[in-house]
Amino acid sequence: MTAAVQPAAAADPARRVRWGWLFWAAVGVVALAVFAALTVRWIAPYEPSAQNLVDSGQGPSGQHWLGTDQLGRDIFSRLLAGARTGLIGPLVVAIGAGFIGTALGLWTGYAGGAVDSVVMRTIDLMYAVPPLLVAIVVVGLFGGGYWLAVGVLIVLSAPGDVRIVRAAVMAQRELPYVAAVRTVGVGPLRIAVRHVLPNVTPTVVANVLLQFVVGLIALSGLAFLGLGVEAGSPDWGLMVAENRGILDLNPWAVIGPAVCISLLAIAVTVIGDRVYEVLSQRTAAR
């Protein structure tokens, strides 16, 4: 018998979800980045790597909208080209870590037992060292490039996913509907995949989006430190490091890529927050 203050008609499944202008603005930002990454070859005013020492370190002008860097490369064209490493690496990190995290989280959260103990102790171990430091050490010492950095970040991001998914799964496991389908005779794999997984989907999706942001920030941070992407390639994090010396000559050479990273990260965070809210409204509605 519930005496909670619960408006009788609170749950109104017929009411349509309003995504809000902020969400669509964020989708717009991501769409722009994707568009730039796909079409940079045709739309960039200059070849992103073309050097022109005569025009080096210039501020914005009609010829170079955002000016040039020390080697006279066009900042705007390089920003467009930077969308490629800005998107692909974080995307692979998010999906890779999300896949590992969801699989392990489901398994450990639902089955428990020895596997759970081993996985959780390993994760405790990984939490003892800040992931960015591990990435710096591994990528630095092993002299790896961009894809090694991406791989390391997948491994380092997965524990967070495992923990979150595991906690969500364990919460679901306690609910009577799981006990009921177990009682009916449904097998553990089917319960985990068909019953529990759909109910933790909001968590998984929100987390994949969050990992994209974490991946983007980490990869650009590594690039800023000269790790990961190849020297000279158009990458936003690397551009900030390369152009820090000409902050006074052409601040756009530094601020431009910094703003690009920030905008993309903010946009994906906004999308993640909103998607989580909407999805959990759908699943939690009772």
Partner 1 sequence: MNEPLLSVDDLGIAVDHRELVHRVSLHLARGESLALVGESGSGKSLTARALVSLLPSGLRATGTLHVDGAEVDPTARAAGHRGRQVALLLQDPFTMLNPTMTAGDHIAETLSAAGRPRADVPAEVTRRLAEVGITDPSVAGRYPFELSGGMSQRVALAAALANDPGVLVADEPTTALDATTQHDVLALLRRIQADRGMGLVLITHDLRVAFSVCDRVMVMYAGSIVEHAPAAALRDQPLHPYTVGLLTSVPSTEHYQQRLVGIEGSVPATHTVLDRCAFADRCAHRIDACVAAAPSLVEVSPGRFSACLRTGELAAAVQVRDAAGVRAPAAPGEAVLQVRDLRKVYRSGGATHTALDGVSFQLRRGEALGVVGESGSGKTTIARCLLGLTAATEGEIEFAGVGVVGGRRSTAQRRAVARVVQCVFQDPYSTLNPMHTVGATLAEALAHRGRPVADRNAEVAALLQRVGLAPDLAGRRPVALSGGQRQRVAIARALAVEPQVLLCDEPVAALDVSVQAQVLELLREVNQQQGTSLLFITHDLGVVRQVTERVLVLHRGVVVEEGATDAVLDRPAHEYTQRLVASMPRVGGDWLT
Partner 2 sequence: MTLAAYALRRIAAILVILVVLSLLVFGLLALMPGDPALTLLGPKASTPEALAAVRERFGLNDPFLTQYARWVGNAVRGDFGESIYSGDPVTTLIADRVGVTAWLAVYALVLTVLVAVPLGLAAGTRPGSRTDRAATAVSLITLSAPTFAVGFLLIYVFAVTLDWFPSFGAGDGFFDTLWHMTLPAVTLAAGQTAVLLRQTRAATMDVAERDFVTFARARAISPGRIRQRYVLRNASLPVLTSAGLLLAYGLTGAVLVENVFALQGLGTLLVRSVAQLDLPVVQGLAMFTALLVLLTNLVVDLLYFALDPRLRRAAVVS
Positions touching partner 1 (CB under 8 A) are 1-9, 11, 13, 175-177, 179-188, 195, 198-199, 283-286
Closest to partner 2 by CB, 43 or 284: 284
Which partner in partner 1, partner 2, none is near 195 (CB below 5 to 8 A by kind)? Answer: partner 1
Closest to partner 1 by CB, 43 or 175: 175
Query: Across-strand partners of 74?
Result: 68
Which partner in partner 1, partner 2, none is near 185 (CB below 5 to 8 A by kind)? Answer: partner 1
Which partner in partner 1, partner 2, none is near 231 (CB below 5 to 8 A by kind)? Answer: none
Q: Could you tell me if 216 and 86 are in contact, meaning their C-beta atoms sit under 8 angstroms apart? A: yes
Closest to partner 1 by CB, 127 or 177: 177
State both tokens at 152.
């390391």
Which partner in partner 2, partner 1, none is near 184 (CB below 5 to 8 A by kind)? Answer: partner 1
Residues in contact with partner 2 by the rule CB under 8 A: 124-125, 127-130, 132-133, 136-137, 140-143, 213, 217, 220-221, 224-227, 237, 240, 244, 247-248, 251, 254-255, 258-259, 261-262, 265-266, 268-270, 273
Cα-to-chain-centroid distance, residue 60: 31
